[in-house]
Structure 1
């Protein structure tokens, strides 16, 4: 699943109660899977683990969506179970080989199952943080890893401004309509720091770690406009209002030269289940 904001990848926010938005990403599951980027292989390798830590063979993917992260974990040798509240996303993932239980994580029944790792890729903000952190600990084997991670997208200022203005016109009633359309990576880091404090506060985990992976990624006009409708601020827009937003952003990218290259950052908070 994705961040709920109008731009992709904003940091986690306490909005887990907004279930209509949380379960809107399956509107076009195929586009979501096609447009959303994968996660760094170095992150996947770190989650899976190597000796002397030992490999994470059984992984629970919370808010598994179409299975983007899960397929990478499967390719790394893991057995993965998804938990996903949107039945459309779950069906898409199942068709591609991922077992999925349809439920919110809070309501999901472990039925005695336990795991070497619990991951949440672009989805932890949809989980009640106190309930979810304790539940993750309860299904992790001693020494198992919780890993919460997601991408940070920082489009150029002119593209972000065009998006913000168009979104305000299209959806003035939205709680996200007052945003600038662009936030620095430091704002995202603050969100992940809050996740780490919740994990630390349970007393059920070892000290949380912060991971950061950065590459450059180039987006053409078409690729960015393919991505935007998969984000939470746009998943429920009617076709006319969505077209207005995409036209404005497309014009800004055209004026920018038809494409842009951005720092593509993936942030993670991770901690191991205490062994006691």
Structure 2
């Protein structure tokens, strides 16, 4: 039975932004990433826009452009920064301007923005350097908005999935995540991000909010999504195939589909005028 090689990175032993091999691995199948990753609640998008001075947006870790398309539909102009050239190329398909770089090394060349967003990407950014860079490029009153989608299958499936990962990927960081309520993991990350924002002295007091909704998944839809996670993008094909087969078997035992409860966890703050 295949298991993940011991040389696979273990993110909990280091800061996630230091795991560059994982952070820049999502472009291995950009099309699957784009079609399987959930979108964000429209109420969240509108809440960001309602407190921003304008609609010039810097999208940090733009990926395939999921966040960018939602903000463009609301009338925004987007510039993306993305370290993975494969993801950047996908995001450019609809004309979005994307510069290939990490945020930490990116040169804004004097450009400033009304909004800096990071959807599902801020944990791959050095929190100190990244927050300072966001403060540098935001106009007075501009809005920094960091957010993550957190999906939670039914409890019986969570346990079945955990058993698969423990058996096939015993050293994977996903085991730590599954051992804790998923939302709590991201809320804790949001708390740390809020602390970093306060420490810059460049922002007003950060606000933390949650937006809730649900999404039904078929077996195949969930397996598509599972193949795009950081726990999967670097796996040898034989290991990934076995993981997906066993996850699929667990879903089949539940009738072939299920409803996941979703929470968008958001941290946001306004750039001070001075």
Q: Taking structure 1 as the reference length, what is the TM-score of the superposition?
A: 0.90
Matches of 1:180 and 1:46, distance apart in 2:
30
Determine whether 1:104 maps to 2:105: no
CA drift of 1:45 comes to 1.2
TM-score (norm 2): 0.90
Mapping of residues 157-236 of structure 1, within 5 Å: 157-177=155-175, 180=178, 183-236=181-234
CA offsets per residue over residues 83-124 of structure 1, 9 Å max, x none? Answer: 000000000001122110000000000001000000000000
The C-alpha deviation readout for 1:136-176, integer Å capped at 9, x for no partner, is: 00000000000000111111233222322322333334344
The DSSP-based 3-state class of the residue aligned with 2:72 is: helix
| Pairing of 1:120-131 with structure 2 (within 5 A) | 120-131=118-129
Q: Secondary structure of 2:46's match? A: helix
Q: Is the 8 A contact 2:148 2:186 kept in 1?
A: no
How many residues are treated as equivalent by the alignment?
261
SS at 1:95's partner residue?
helix
Correspondence for 1:250 among 248, 261, 268: 248
| 1:273 maps onto 2:271 in alignment | yes
Q: Distance in 2 between matches of 1:270 and 1:144?
A: 10
Shift of 1:54: 5.7
Q: Deviations over 1:243-275 (max 9, x none)?
A: 111111111111112111122111100000001
| 1:31 counterpart residue number | 32
1:44-103 CA distance string (max 9 Å, x none): 112222xxx565321000000000000111111111000000000000001122110000
> 1:174 and 1:205, CA in 2 relative to 1: closer, same or farther beyond 3 A?
same
Residues 23, 184 of structure 1: CA spacing in aligned structure 2 closer, same or farther, 3 A cutoff?
Answer: closer
The gaps in structure 1 that reach 5 residues or longer are 1-12
| Structure 2: gaps (5+ residues) | 1-13
Which residue in the other structure is 1:7 paired with? none
Q: 1:192 to 1:96 in 2, by over 3 A?
A: same
Root-mean-square deviation (Å): 1.6
More helix by share: 2
